Structure 1
Amino acid sequence: MIETITKFLPSVEGPKGVISFKTRLKWTGIILFIFLIMGYISLYGVSQRTYERFTLFEMILGSSMGSLITLGIGPIVTASIILQLLVGSKILGLDLTKKEDREKFQGLQKLLTVLFCFFEGAAYVIFGVIQPAVPSFEYIFLLTLQLAIGGILVMLMDEVVSKWGIGSGVSLFIAAGVSKSIFVKMFNPFSFGAELPAGAIPQAIVALGIGDMTIAIDALLPVLFTILVFLVVVYAQGIEVEIPLAFGALSGFGRRWPLKFIYTSNIPVILTSALLANLMLLGSMFAAKGMPIFGEFDEYNRPISGILYYISSPPNFVLSLIRGTLTFEMILRALGYIIFMCLGAVIFSLLWVQTSGMDAKSVAEQIQSIGMSIPGFRRDPRIIEQVLSKYITPLTIMGGLFVGLLASFADLTGAIGSGTGILLTVMIIYNFYEQISLRYLEEMHPALRSFFE
């Protein structure tokens, strides 16, 4: 029945042949342009209000509140989280090493994403995240429909990038949102009624000009931490374990199979951050209706009590530490946030390996299919799987733990664009760079090729 329903869902047809780098770059650029334009298209019938309190959600979920992309990648990652948990706990009996089960998984994910587009759209309007200009059923229905359509369009654009572009649409949309936020917060020269510019660098320059070192240091510290996080992520991305392989048919010839330290890349952090963002949003919705299930929230949508308060990053943690104003409650919140991010990243890292075909069994089959084996061991995929398990399982856990720890540390430093946002963006851009340099180097113009070599 589910397979029948998924056939009627909107989809993007994949290419029938090999696509050139120029074509992939063109489609990636087109989708990015459309996505950014959609962020400036306001919903019809929405009340005119500010959405500054949702800045963090916008960055993590690649959304723009009050616009056609209000839901962002929320429905996509929510559907992915639920399905991975169902498959990982064996509630959903799918063997993702089989092609037909992977196709079922993808179909279920698309169906669940569409359902969440309507569910989240209705929840946003009913719980007051998006308020109608006129509180009537017609306006509520109209806003819900627009939000759902926007979410489905984002899902289809993600498909276009995955099949016709470079990388994934989800990663592209997150990187676009965070990059825009970092650029504005770092270089904005306007003051908006205040004495000092809003941007960190112009603010520091003006503060130094008037001789106020305290303001200058406060403005520059987030910039320095942003650069530090950037350098740490780039360095960690280059760490890998190489498994020596040999060709069975050609004696003396071989290659190395690289396994990255951050084995599952940025996926665990995307899913953990999206989970926390969804919990925050859900908590604020219930609190606004007088049901503080997850705690109370202030006017800036920040938790001030309850369980979410103790798993959210305390603001200005490092500045408070430097100034000597750090409290025990702030330390408790920081520990809770670090534990949540690390534990979530490890769990999603383990689940992602199983659902994406990156587990030892799948990699062993890939190695076997190209006629290679590990020197000193029999050419049996089960033997190769046993050897790979000694590397892949620890790398999966350590890589997930590392990105969770780095994301939480970066958030505690107060880095511009949120630490999690910077971590995701740097890893996304680095992955784009790697994909281009590995797959499309020969097709590039000589001037561009030298940059990627």
Structure 2
Amino acid sequence: MADFTKIFALIPEVKKPDEKKLAFNVKLKWTLIVLISFFILANISLFGLSNNALERFQYLAIILGTDFGSIISLGIGPIVMASIILQLLTGAGIININTNTVEGKKLFQGIQKLLVFFFIIFEACVYVLMKGLEAMPGYSWLVILQLILGGIAIYYMNELCEKWGFGSGVSIFIAAGASWHLFTQAFQFVNTQGRNCLLDFSGTACSGKVLVLIQSIINKYPVEFASALGALLSTVVIFLLVVWAQSLKVEIPLSFGRIRGYGIKWPLNFFYASVIPVILTAALVANIQLFGGLLENWVGHPTFLGHFSNGQAVSGFAFWLGHTNLLELIIRGGFLPRYLIQGITHIIFYVGLATLFSVFWVKTSGMGAKEQAQKISASGLQISGFRQDVRVLESVLDRYIMPLTVMGGAAIGLLAATTDLLGALSSGTAILLVIMIMYQFYQKIAEQHMTDMNPAMRKFISNN
């Protein structure tokens, strides 16, 4: 432990605030600084990068909260990979770290930092040397160095947001990237040829679906009108469905054992594992697509993962895991049975893996019935009408947690896969991420505002 402590002491870190509870304005200021810095870095291109087919990274960029080709191309990838691997190692008992003690928390956080820095260097080398982000001759190590610096910047921006802002910087980066993608898909006025359609609205095709809709009405293009309207309507429908499903919950009535007549309700959300299962599923699919393309470029011929054209799988395993805009194909008359089969396999894969990841995440991240029962009992709470016993709490919670885990995982996988097939403005994963992260962000802001306005509420929350 002493040797590790010496190594951890050499790693710079963001200083924690002296105050236990930061004011709302302070958190808002630092969150906005981090958000603005993120967008600035996302618009700084890598120097020495050759002409790359960056479209292949579009799906992965949304999940990783980044813009490929920029200095922060690695995004939150190293942070997420380090967290998942450390979570797996501790959950499986391979690494025994007691995070309930101060020393255990420091050891856990220190190992996580080392893993993050390792993955920053590793992923930077893989992207450049395997020609995912191909550098110009003689500039490979310069591009790798820029990627490493960008990865380190993202890490410390995340740490700054966690200590001085409204929670996780990772969530903010994902929500910001996905929101920007949604906005550009709706209102992009510069088309793929680099021409501004606003300068010649009737003669130059727009890219944003809202502008395409208006343009098709003016120019009387029924096919373009139907395509744009379908994309916008499917986005709105999925948005409303996710908002509705987000509000579903099971509430367990609890009471304080020592205080009679006062009780609370312990909420268990329908999406019990939140959006984590679909993030892991989408990341796996995106990485299979990415690795398949890189492997084909490396060996010089298609592999079992399939053949890739412009970064998109057109055959092989990666093709059947992927998706095609079925609504667009039907409108334009290009629908084929193979795309329907691909859509079915896409849904099955997403639902199955999201359910599996949901169960796995709940069992390894301390969200199971046993851990929740211990947490409730430690707070001095008990289920109304039952004696105060951890085993009773566990048996009651077990009736709800595992069914919610399975149903919630399957439902969120189905929503994400269906959105992909309906051709919404962005991927199903991106829309789910935006809605859920923004909802959690709103709850944190509302709670912070409440504690600032009400001293009694501040005292109550700080005591808990």
Q: Distance in 2 between matches of 1:101 and 1:275?
A: 31
Cα separation, partners in 2 of 1:246 and 1:14, compared to 1, 3 Å: same
Residue number in structure 1 paired with 2:147? 147
Find the partner of 1:421 among 406, 409, 430.
Answer: 430
SS of the equivalent of 2:255 reads strand
Query: Which of the numbers 306, 311, 336 marks the counterpart of 2:321?
Result: 311
Structure-2 change in CA distance of 1:182 and 1:303 (3 Å): same
Q: CA RMSD in A?
A: 2.5
Equivalent-residue separation in structure 2 for 1:12 and 1:361 (angstroms)? 35
Q: Which moved more, 1:13-22 or 1:396-405?
A: 13-22
Which one-letter code corresponds to 2:249 in the other structure? E
Question: Where do 1:22-421 residues align within 5 Å?
Answer: 22-47=25-50, 49=52, 51-88=54-91, 90=92, 92-94=94-96, 98-99=100-101, 104-133=107-136, 135-136=137-138, 139-191=139-191, 192-193=194-195, 195-290=204-299, 292-313=302-323, 315-321=324-330, 325-421=334-430
CA distance in 1, matches of 2:234, 2:378: 45
Aligned partner of 1:166: which letter? F
Q: Is the 8 A contact 1:239 1:261 kept in 2?
A: yes
In structure 2, list runs of 5 or more residues that go unmatched: 196-202, 455-464
Q: CA deviation at 1:323?
A: 6.0
Structure-2 separation of matches of 1:356 and 1:439? 26
In structure 2, the CA distance between the partners of 1:24 and 1:354, relative to structure 1 (3 Å rule), is farther
Structure-2 change in CA distance of 1:444 and 1:141 (3 Å): farther
**How far apart, in 1, do the equivalents of 2:244 and 2:453 lie?**
26
With structure 1 as the length reference, what TM-score do the two structures score?
Answer: 0.89
**Kept in 1: contact 2:281–2:350 (CA 8 A):** yes
Aligned residues, how many? 440
Stretches of structure 1 that go unaligned for 5 or more consecutive residues are 446-453
- Rounded to whole Å, the distance in 1 between the matches of 2:252 and 2:156 is 37
Cα distance in 2, alignment partners of residues 306 and 8 from structure 1:
47
Cα drift, residue 29 of structure 1 = 0.8
Task: Report % sequence identity.
Answer: 43
Q: Secondary structure at the match of 1:440?
A: helix
Point out the more displaced range, 348-357 or 160-169: 348-357
CA contact (8 A) 2:306 2:318 kept: no
Q: How far 1:105 sits from its partner (Å)?
A: 4.3
CA distance in 2, matches of 1:341, 1:18: 41
Cα offset for 1:108?
3.2
Please report how far the alpha carbon of residue 183 of structure 1 lies from its aligned counterpart in structure 2 after TM superposition: 1.1
Aligned to 1:448: none
TM-score, L = length of structure 2:
0.87
For the residue of structure 2 that corresponds to 1:318, the secondary structure is helix
Q: Give 1:425 deviation, angstroms.
A: 0.8
Whether contact under 8 Å (2:325, 2:420) holds in the other structure is no
Work out which of the residue numbers 8, 21, 27 in structure 1 matches 2:10. Answer: 8
Using the TM superposition, give the Cα deviation of residue 112 of structure 1 relative to its aligned residue in structure 2, in angstroms: 1.9
> 1:363-383 deviations in whole A, cap 9, x for unaligned?
222222222111222212232
